[in-house]
Chain A
Amino acid sequence: MNYLTYLLAGIRNKAGRNLATAFCFAFIAANIFSGQYLTSGAGGSVDQGVSRMGADHLVVPAQYQVFSRGFGPENTFAVVRAEPSTYRIRADIMATVGSVQGVMKMSPQLYVATLREPALSPSPVEIYGIDPATDFTIQPWLQHPLSTPMSPGEVIVGHEIKGDISSQISLSSHTYTVAGRLDPTQSPIDRTIFLRMDDAYALAATEGIVPSSDPRVSYGDINAVLLQGDPGEGSDLVAARIRRAFSPTYITVISRHFSLDPALQEIKDLPRLLTYISLIVVVAALPLISLIAAMVAHERQREIGLIRSMGAKRHVIISLVFAESLILAATGGIFGVGVSLIAFTLISTQIIDSSALHVSFALPTVADIGMMAGVALLVVITLGSISSIYPAYQSSTISPYDAIRKNG
Chain B
Amino acid sequence: MIEGIGVTKVFRHGRSDVVAVDDVHLNVIPGEFVLIYGRSGSGKSTLLGMLGGLINPTSGVIRVNGLDIGNLSDAMISEVRAKEIGFVFQFSGHIPTVTVLENVMLPMLFYRDGPGSLSRAVELIRRVGLSDRADAYPCTLSSGEMKRVAIARALINSPPILIADEPTGDLDIDTEYEIMQLFQQLNSEGMTFVMVTHNLDLVPFGTRTYRMDRGKMMEIPRPLPGVTMTKEPNTHLDHDAGTAMNEL
Contacts and interface: CB of A to CB of B under 8 A. Distances in A.
Contacts of A310: 81-82, 87, 106-107, 109-110, 153
B102 A10 contact: no
A303 B97 CA distance: 10
A297 to B, nearest CB: 15
Given A399-B54, A399-B55, A1 B81 contact: no
B83 interface: yes
Contact of B95 (A3, A306, A311, A408): A306
Contact of B93 (A5, A306, A316): A306
Given A310-B107, A311-B79, A9 B102 contact: yes
B95 A309 contact: no
B106 A309 contact: no
A408 B109 contact: no
A400 B54 CA distance: 6
A311 B82 contact: yes
A105 B54 CA distance: 83
Nearest to B48: A401
Contacts of B74: 313-314
Contacts of A405: 91
A116 interface: no
Contact of A1 (B55, B92, B109): B109
B33 to A, nearest CB: 22
B75 interface: yes
Interface in A1-58: 1-3, 5-6, 9-10, 12-13
B67 interface: no
A371 to B, nearest CB: 38
A377 B75 CA distance: 34
A408 B106 CA distance: 19
A9 B110 CA distance: 18
Interface in B52-98: 52, 54-56, 74-75, 78-83, 87, 89, 91-98
A408 B82 contact: no
A312 interface: yes
A3 B81 contact: no
A312 B98 contact: no
A408 B92 contact: yes
A312 B80 CA distance: 11
A317 to B, nearest CB: 10
A303 B49 contact: no
A9 B151 CA distance: 22
Interface in A289-305: 302-303
B134 interface: no
B108 interface: yes
A329 B153 CA distance: 32
Given A401-B54, A404-B89, A311 B107 contact: yes
Contact of B111 (A10, A12, A311, A408): A311
Nearest to B74: A314
B92 A9 contact: no
Nearest to A310: B107
Interface string A184-228: 000000000000000000000000000000000000000000000
B128 to A, nearest CB: 17
A314 B107 CA distance: 15
B97 A13 contact: yes
B7 interface: no
Nearest to B89: A404
Interface string A88-127: 0000000000000000000000000000000000000000
B81 A404 contact: no
Contacts of B52: 309
Contact of A6 (B80, B96, B98): B98
A135 B78 CA distance: 77
A402 B91 CA distance: 12
A313 B75 contact: yes
Given A309-B54, A313-B75, A1 B105 contact: yes
Given A310-B107, A311-B79, A312-B82, 11 more contacts: A5-B102, A6-B102, A302-B92, A303-B95, A307-B106, A308-B81, A309-B54, A310-B82, A310-B87, A310-B109, A310-B110
16 contacts: A1-B109, A2-B109, A6-B97, A6-B102, A9-B97, A10-B97, A306-B94, A307-B110, A308-B78, A309-B54, A311-B82, A311-B107, A311-B111, A312-B109, A313-B110, A399-B54
